[in-house]
Amino acid sequence: MLAADKNKTIIEVTVIGKDRKGVVADFTNFIFQNGGNIEKINQNVVRGLFGMQLEASFQKADRTHIDAGLKELAGKLQMELKVHYQEPDRPRNVAIFVSKEPHCLERILRGRKKGEIDTNIAVIIGSEETLRPIAENVKIPFHSIAHTDQATAENNILQLIDRYNIDLIVLARYMRILTPNFVWRYPNRIINIHPSILPAFPGAYAYVQAYERGAKIVGCTAHFVTEDLDQGPIICQESFKVHNKDTLETIKTKGQELEAETLFEAVKLYLENRLEVYWGKVFVHDGKPKKK
């Protein structure tokens, strides 16, 4: 993610479709021909599905012209297209994905209320109805998306993300796995909290594994989401010691408190433009003003 620059317009372009030649060249040439500069580009192919994300900066950008040109090019290449503009003069729009556990959601809401983060929590999306009352209490739109069919569910979520012009997706103990087809659309814009010091104890039952294995240190990891489960670039990690008197329940309680704080810290760093991802590794800027 590029730091916001009021003198530039930053656009993020995501292209997905059947793998074919010439896609990268055609899109990058369009950017250059319209006065843009490629800042970052990433591409991947999984089982014949091609995905590309690029970030480009423009000193002056005619959004109508750029949108129309990119749409025409995507149609010509039979590719699905998503274009997102970074607008530094407004708070970022955040979507929070949840399931049953409220602790991470409540910490983010508390942080916004206290002024610890400057953001607009535009929508809360649940895999079920459990946490709707929390959203309604703070007057944030809540949408429950059933996952009977994964493709249909993700398509419905994508429509909501576009409707609310979302800049950042936060998985606040969202107990569903997002497919590469979804994740590719939001490179380094989906943050997840995992109840383990990754890469150890992957999966949903990390605390159970830690307890059964007699781990002496347990923790959690906030990371960007990639198509590889629990393998994305790490943003924050925290841990606590396990004592002989601890039970599975006390470990879970301590872990959930740590999860909430660690995820909140990762979101805060993102919103403060202090994160940069290079070659799969996250670098955190200190946030201090640069000396002239």
In tens, the pLDDT along 42-99 reads: 888 877 888 888 999 988 878 889 999 999 999 999 999 988 887 767 789 999 999 9
Is there a single domain that holds both residue 33 and residue 150?
Answer: no
pLDDT of residue 290: 43
* Dihedral of alpha carbons 68, 17, 37, 59, sign: positive
Tell me the C-alpha distance between 42 and 40, whole Å.
7
The answer to whether position 37 is within a domain reads: yes
Asked if residue 291 has pLDDT above 90, the reply is no
Catalytic residues: 230
Amino acid code (one letter) for 163: R
Asked if residue 210 has pLDDT above 80, the reply is no
The answer to whether position 156 is within a domain reads: yes
Other residues' Cβ atoms within 10 Å of the Cβ of residue 141 = 15
Q: Comparing 110-124, 144-158, 258-272, which segment has the lowest mean pLDDT?
A: 144-158
Please answer whether residues 105 and 137 qualify as being in contact, where contact means their C-beta atoms are separated by less than 8 angstroms.
Answer: no
CATH of the domain at 16: 3.30.70.260
In tens, the pLDDT along 146-187 reads: 888 888 999 999 999 989 989 999 999 999 989 888 888 888
The answer to whether position 292 is within a domain reads: no
Strands 190-194 and 168-171: parallel
CATH of the domain at 253: 3.40.50.170
Which two three-digit tokens encode residue 44? 């991947």
Asked if residue 206 has pLDDT above 80, the reply is no
pLDDT of residue 288: 55
Q: Once rounded to an integer, what is the mean pLDDT over residues 229-251?
A: 89
Domain end residue (candidates: 49, 64, 86): 86
The answer to whether position 120 is within a domain reads: yes
Domain housing 219: 92-284
